[in-house]
């Protein structure tokens, strides 16, 4: 089995215990960042939620936006690098949660995290620990990102 497939499977198992989307909402992304924070994206049907903060504590940031405001970038099936993202807007800031992998190389771990864009400009990137990533971004029913 390819190394990245094993990392993804291990990440699903490891992160499953930490994902905590409320009620009937579905966890579409969760991870522990390299600095020990928790990132989570929840699909509640009519809304998409985003939270960031210390595990087990009140989130430092928690958003719920109407589904029509969130968007996605999906791998088009071409090229060696598969990547998926969900963009969650908050005023002039967009939190772009991403996951990607070089599907032809066993030497590279998956990459996942959050790009923070303010007024369309990159302000920060928060990386996830690859062994903690849980993601179901592929095929999420959102409008395409611009």
DSSP string, 44-101: -SSEEEEEEE-TTS--SEEEEEEGGG-EEEE--S-SSEEEEEEEEEETTEEEEEEEEE
DSSP β-ladder status, 93-102 and 81-90: antiparallel
Residue 96, Cα to own-chain centre: how many angstroms?
8
Q: State what percent of residues in the chain have pLDDT above 70.
A: 87
What would the mean pLDDT of 79-95 be, rounded to a whole number? 96
Contact 54, 34 (CB under 8 A): no
pLDDT tens-digit map of 28-75: 999 999 999 999 999 999 999 999 999 989 999 999 999 999 999 999
Nearest CA to 103 out of 128, 76, 80 is that of: 80
Residue 140 has pLDDT above 90, yes or no: yes
Residue 7 has pLDDT above 90, yes or no: no
Residue 89 has pLDDT above 70, yes or no: yes
pLDDT band of 24, cuts 50, 70, 90: confident
Helix, strand, or coil here: 28? Answer: strand
* Between 65 and 23, the higher pLDDT residue: 65
pLDDT value for 19: 57
pLDDT value for 97: 98
Those residues whose C-beta lies under 8 Å from the C-beta of residue 79, and which sit 6 or more positions away, are: none
CA distance 94 to 114: 10
pLDDT tens-digit map of 97-118: 999 998 887 777 789 999 999 9
């Amino acid at each position: 089995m390819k190394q990245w497939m094993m990392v993804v499977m291990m990440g699903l198992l490891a992160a499953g215990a930490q994902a905590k989307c409320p009620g009937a909402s579905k966890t579409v992304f969760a991870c522990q960042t390299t600095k020990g924070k928790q990132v989570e994206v929840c699909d509640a049907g009519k809304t998409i939620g985003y939270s960031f903060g210390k595990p087990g504590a009140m989130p430092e940031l928690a958003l719920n936006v109407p589904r029509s405001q969130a968007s996605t970038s999906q791998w088009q099936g071409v090229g060696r690098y598969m990547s998926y993202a969900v963009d969650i807007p908050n005023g002039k800031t967009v939190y772009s949660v991403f996951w990607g992998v070089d599907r032809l190389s066993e030497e590279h771990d998956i990459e996942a995290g959050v790009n923070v864009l303010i007024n369309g400009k990159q302000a920060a990137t928060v990386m996830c620990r690859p062994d903690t990533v849980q993601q179901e971004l592929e095929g999420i029913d959102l409008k395409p990102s611009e």
